[in-house]
Amino acid sequence: MQDTFYLTPNILLRTQTSAMQARAMDRHDFATGPLKMVSPGKVYRRDNDDATHSHQFHQVEGLVVGKGITLADLKGTLQALTDELFGKGHAMRFRQSYFPFTEPSLEVDISWNIVDDQTPAEDIRWIEVLGAGMVHPNVLKMAHIDPEEYTG
């Protein structure tokens, strides 16, 4: 999905931090409880720099896999995260999207401005802050995790 910076024909700079998730799923003992992890790192993409894109940036990915993990859990976690990062009072919206490794996939926007229930919808200014989604069942299967028993 991303264009890549190649240093040599066989060496490239990473475009995401997702590889850490595969390792964590492989090593986790689910008998001890759900897997919960964060994987931060610097990433590089052949993007055109503009107000919302950069060819190098820091990415943070989170992953929870366990029994009974739902989309409501994901949304609640993202609300708590954005409240901590940007402060309370910013509206959040979820837009349907597509990522091949999640199902469903979401884009998450927050308001630039502080809003309340009296703020007219046309006065809310949005910026996309992250992509998210539930781990695709095929990703779980590739990690030898039964998607009928575990979700994330």
Domain range annotation of the chain: 6-142
Please report the pLDDT score of residue 2 as a whole number.
59
Q: Per-residue pLDDT for 1 more than 80?
A: no
pTM, two decimal places: 0.86
- How would DSSP label each residue in 95-121? EEE--TTEEEEEEEEEEEEE--TTS-G
Identify whether the C-beta of residue 69 lies closer than 8 Å to the C-beta of residue 152: yes
41 in Cβ contact with 50 (< 8 Å): no
Number of H helices, E strands in the chain: 3, 7
Distance (Å) of CA 97 to CA 49, 115, 131: 22, 25, 8
Decide: helix, strand or coil at residue 30. helix
**Which pLDDT does position 74 carry in this prediction?**
97
Confidence (pLDDT) at 78: 96
Report the DSSP beta bridge partners of residue 53.
Answer: 50
What pLDDT, on a 0 to 100 scale, did the predictor assign at position 68?
97
pLDDT beyond 90 at 34: yes
Q: Is residue 61's pLDDT more than 60?
A: yes
Q: Does domain 6-142 have CATH number 3.40.50.300?
A: no
The answer to whether residues 13 and 5 touch, using CB atoms and an 8 Å cutoff, is yes
Indicate the helix (H) or strand (E) that contains 61. strand 56-65
Question: The tokens 């349907």 sit on which residue?
Answer: 96
Q: Give tens-digit pLDDT for 96-152.
A: 999 999 999 999 999 999 999 999 999 999 999 999 999 999 999 999 999 999 999
pLDDT averaged over the chain?
A: 94
